[in-house]
């Protein structure tokens, strides 16, 4: 090491900040050490200076809050600055490997996009596009034009509008058709979804007045009927998604509510949640509302997410009557909630895949995972087991019947049968092993049950197996448990 500032002396009792500060080496002297010069080579002068300043400021802060404190040596300061530079170099938002078997995992980014959608993002991101430009006339166009017709064709709706997410869709719809007026909802449907979307709160934000009818477990058509008055704007139905009321229950079907709405001349709005367009008879999805059916039944507005069962990017889709959609389009809030061009590109590409249901099933990862045949799951489970056993013979690995989950609010109870690869480490606890896997690059996210780590091949791609094997081999089998 080159010129090194010696560790400072203990500051005299009652030292002021100024005294402590003067005992720390100067930025220029730190830069002038061997280590400092190496860092400048690796990063840049600008970044190293700013990392050193940041580190010195932190040390100053720490010294201030302690009575007995020695200023650290130059080597220690540079070590801290290096750690800061390395942390800064790594992107915070990173790809992870999802071995949990939860297909639409909200914390892990919900749906993975089809190759077609990824290509569309790549192409549109790198250049200019006809986002709001009509190539025919050479005049201004609408970003909605890229998907509206497609959505109408796929669902049978009269008109469509896409926004940032489904929460925005519900907000815009209610604000447009019901601000200052009453919206009737069953008490059993005042749900909270994903910890932040609460129907009563979205309703309040829209300026609509919530009228709750029925009780938590029972709501009858007569309850809606009695609540209708001249201030009523909409009858709202919300798919409870992540929650079921079972036992002594009664609820009104969408069809019944629509026929009541027709009698009273009131529109029915349906928040379908998931965007289920592909009724392939997946047993675990039997309770999910199919979007086309809701439109066919005569719902005036249907809203859903782009990144749940639809398998596309984050987006909110509003389908419905032409006149209502037109009012939403000219609502100033629509501008604040509008979809960005990259999501729009991915959404259009995803929707195009639905023009042929078999293509959608095989090209959209969410659907591929939902309908993965048991033989394929078994094949993957065996291949993964073999690979792991080979790199890490000390692990106790077996294959066990388990359940995967659709996730994303679909189906709180029913799982999809799967075969999980279970791992026990000779020294690490299951939680400890899960933590080590999470710290891997790329991070591997697993489920822990019955003191075992579970890897569900349903949400893993074959290319990801080698990352898991490598991670386990790095963790090792014989070292001391933490």
Could you list the residues that contact ligand PLP (CB under 6 A)? 165-167, 193-194, 197, 238-239, 241, 271, 273-274, 305, 316, 409
The CB-of-291 to ligand PLP minimum distance in angstroms stands at: 12
Given the DSSP bridges, would you call strands 416-424 and 396-407 parallel, antiparallel or unpaired?
antiparallel
Question: How many CB atoms are located within 10 Å of the residue 238 CB?
Answer: 21
By beta-carbon proximity to ligand PLP, the closer residue of 164 and 459 is 164
By beta-carbon proximity to ligand PLP, the closer residue of 197 and 465 is 197
Distance, in Å, from the CA atom of 4 to the CA atom of 166, rounded to the nearest integer, reads 58
Nearest residue (beta carbon) to ligand PLP: 273
The CB-of-236 to ligand PLP minimum distance in angstroms stands at: 11
By beta-carbon proximity to ligand PLP, the closer residue of 166 and 392 is 166
By beta-carbon proximity to ligand PLP, the closer residue of 5 and 269 is 269
The CB-of-188 to ligand PLP minimum distance in angstroms stands at: 13
Distance, in Å, from the CA atom of 276 to the CA atom of 281, rounded to the nearest integer, reads 11
The CB-of-197 to ligand PLP minimum distance in angstroms stands at: 4
Question: Which of 23, 42, 139, 35 lies closest to 86, judged by CA?
Answer: 42
Question: Which of 160, 149, 242 lies closest to 195, judged by CA?
Answer: 242
Distance, in Å, from the CA atom of 316 to the CA atom of 338, rounded to the nearest integer, reads 9
By beta-carbon proximity to ligand PLP, the closer residue of 98 and 305 is 305
The CB-of-237 to ligand PLP minimum distance in angstroms stands at: 10
Structure tokens at 349: 């590409």
By beta-carbon proximity to ligand PLP, the closer residue of 167 and 299 is 167
The CB-of-316 to ligand PLP minimum distance in angstroms stands at: 6
CB-neighbour burial class of residue 269 (10 A; exposed 0-12, middle 13-18, buried 19+): buried
The CB-of-97 to ligand PLP minimum distance in angstroms stands at: 23
The CB-of-144 to ligand PLP minimum distance in angstroms stands at: 18
Structure tokens at 340: 């960005």
By beta-carbon proximity to ligand PLP, the closer residue of 194 and 200 is 194
By beta-carbon proximity to ligand PLP, the closer residue of 154 and 317 is 317
Q: Any idea of the CA torsion for 64, 65, 69, 75, to the nearest 10 degrees? A: -70
C-alpha pair distances (Å), 187 with each of 147, 199, 418: 35, 11, 36
**Rounded to the nearest 5°, which phi and psi values hold at 153?**
-60, -40
Q: What is the DSSP string of 398-429?
A: EEEEEEEEEETTB-SS--EEEEEEEEE-SSS-
């Amino acid at each position: 090491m080159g010129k090194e500032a010696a560790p400072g002396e203990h500051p005299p009792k009652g030292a002021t900040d100024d005294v402590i500060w003067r005992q720390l080496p100067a930025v220029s002297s730190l830069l002038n050490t061997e280590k400092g010069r190496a860092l400048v080579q690796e990063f840049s002068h600008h970044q190293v200076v700013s990392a050193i300043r940041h580190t010195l400021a932190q040390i100053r802060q720490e010294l201030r809050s302690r009575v007995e404190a020695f200023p650290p040596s130059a080597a220690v300061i540079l070590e801290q600055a290096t750690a800061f530079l390395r942390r800064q170099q790594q992107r915070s938002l990173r790809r992870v490997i999802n071995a949990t078997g939860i297909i639409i995992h909200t914390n892990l980014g919900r749906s993975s996009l089809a190759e077609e959608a990824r290509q569309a993002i790549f192409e549109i991101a790198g250049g200019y596009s006809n986002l709001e430009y009509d190539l025919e006339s050479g005049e201004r166009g609408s970003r909605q034009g890229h998907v509206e017709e497609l959505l109408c064709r796929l669902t049978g709706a009269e008109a469509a509008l896409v926004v940032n997410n489904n929460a925005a869709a519900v907000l815009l719809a209610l604000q447009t058709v019901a601000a200052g007026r009453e919206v009737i909802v069953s008490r059993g449907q005042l749900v909270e979804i994903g910890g932040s979307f609460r129907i009563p709160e979205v309703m309040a934000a829209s300026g609509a007045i919530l009228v709750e009818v029925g009780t938590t477990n029972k709501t009858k058509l007569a309850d809606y009927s009695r609540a209708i008055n001249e201030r009523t704007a909409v009858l709202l139905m919300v798919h409870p998604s992540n929650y079921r009321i079972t036992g002594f229950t009664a609820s009104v079907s969408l069809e019944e509510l629509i026929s009541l709405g027709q009698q009273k001349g009131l529109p029915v709005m349906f928040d379908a949640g998931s965007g289920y367009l592909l009724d392939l008879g997946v047993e675990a999805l039997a309770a999910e509302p199919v979007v086309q059916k809701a439109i066919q039944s005569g719902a005036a507005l249907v809203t859903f997410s782009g990144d749940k069962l639809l398998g596309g990017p984050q987006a909110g889709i509003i389908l419905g009557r032409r006149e209502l959609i037109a009012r939403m389009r000219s609502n100033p809030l629509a501008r604040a909630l509008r979809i960005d061009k990259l999501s729009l590109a991915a959404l259009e590409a995803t929707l195009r895949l639905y023009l042929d249901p078999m293509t959608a099933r095989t090209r959209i990862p969410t659907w591929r995972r939902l309908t993965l045949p048991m033989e394929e799951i078994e094949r993957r489970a065996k291949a993964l087991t073999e690979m792991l056993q080979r790199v890490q013979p000390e692990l106790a690995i077996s294959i066990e019947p388990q359940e995967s989950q659709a996730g994303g609010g679909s189906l709180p109870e029913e799982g999809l049968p799967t075969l999980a690869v279970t791992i026990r480490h000779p020294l690490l606890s299951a939680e400890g092993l899960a933590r080590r896997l999470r710290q891997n690059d790329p991070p591997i996210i697993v489920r822990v049950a019955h003191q075992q780590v579970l890897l569900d091949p349903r949400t893993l791609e074959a290319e990801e197996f080698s990352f898991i094997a490598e991670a386990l081999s790095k963790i090792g089998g014989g070292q001391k448990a933490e």
